[in-house]
Amino acid sequence: MKIRIKYFEGATKLMKISKGNWIDVYANKDVFVRVGEGEMIPLGFALELPKGWEGHLAPRSSTFKTWKVITSNSIGVIDDSYIGDNDQWHMPVFCLQCKNKEVINGIEEEGTWIRKGDKIGQFRIMEVMPEIEFEEVESFGNDDRGGFGSTGSK
């Protein structure tokens, strides 16, 4: 499958990793994220996703350890209509702990620096869910499994 990509100035080029099914994404700007606040990290590219496909954007397993941030909406979903020339992908992050201290406007701030070129997240494309129709019933006629956590604790 070929997907057209547009890079914004100075962006790190994307490539599929050799192990795994995700593509790493990189910050395209230096951003200081204060503890307890969020920022949108520009990723430096736009994709023309094919009709019927969507992108799922998530943090890497090392994102919190490295920058002390989490993705503020758990996972980003980019649908096949976000395909304009200026529809740059961004990763919304929220800083939970101090990694760096920075003096901003004469005040020492706690937070973390995400630098241009940092490998901040990953994405994959997936087919969208097919059209579904709900059929309301009184019973499924199946045995109950036993509730959440019913497969045991160990």
Query: Considering the entire predicted model, what is its pTM?
Result: 0.83
- Residue 133 lies inside a defined structural domain of this protein: no
Reply yes or no on whether the pLDDT at 91 is more than 70.
yes
Output the six-digit token pair for 55: 């992108």
Residue 120: give the domain boundaries. Answer: 4-8+21-127
> For residue 153, what pLDDT is reported?
59
Q: What is the pLDDT of residue 100?
A: 87
Supply the pLDDT for residue 152. 58
Q: What's the pLDDT tens digit per position in 3-43? A: 999 999 999 999 877 778 899 999 999 999 999 999 999 99
103: confidence class by pLDDT, cuts 50, 70, 90: confident
Confirm whether 87 is domain-assigned.
Answer: yes
The predicted-structure confidence for 129-148, as pLDDT tens digits, reads as follows 899 999 999 999 998 877 77
The answer to whether residue 47 sits within a structural domain is yes
Res 144: pLDDT = 84
Catalytic residues: 79
Classify residue 134: in a domain, yes or no.
no
End-to-end CA distance of the chain: 42
Of 58-62, 119-123, 147-151, the least confident: 147-151
Confidence band of 105 (pLDDT split at 50, 70, 90): confident
- Domains: count for the chain: 1
Residue 43's nearest CA partner among 103, 121, 133 is 121
- Residue 62: give its domain's CATH number: 2.70.40.10
- Asked if residue 55 has pLDDT above 70, the reply is yes
Residue 137 domain-assigned?
no
